[in-house]
Amino acid sequence: MTAQMIISIFTLVIYLIIIFVFNKARIKYAGGKVGKVINLILITVCLLFVADYVTILDPILDVEVLNIIRALFRTTALSFLAYGGVKIADS
């Protein structure tokens, strides 16, 4: 196994743990500001997950296109988190 594969497996496990824990919390704390924050975190983590694992398409797409897709998903995740945080703080 290469170092890159070990890192990918480790981050996959971390993503799955985060998604599992926050999904359980979302069920428990449905509604209100806490529920909205949990949803923000879940969507952000899912977008970051997609950004990290877009490398699966490496045999199909060019490296430059993959970097653009990765940057777009990361930017979308952080923008979503920032906009949602401001919206929740205002309410």
Residue boundaries of the structural domains of the chain: 3-90
Half-sphere exposure for 14 (CA within 13 Å, toward CB)? 10
pLDDT (tens digit per residue) in 51-70 = 999 988 888 999 999 999 99
Per-residue tokens: 68: 């653009």
- What does pTM read for this prediction? 0.86
The C-alpha angle 80, 86, 87, rounded to 5 degrees, equals: 85
pLDDT score for 75: 97
CA 73 – CA 67 distance, rounded (Å): 10
Segment 16-24 mean pLDDT: 94
Q: Are 51 and 74 in contact (CB under 8 A)?
A: yes
Q: pLDDT digits over 23-51, tens only?
A: 999 988 888 889 999 999 999 999 999 99
Question: What's the pLDDT at 80?
Answer: 94
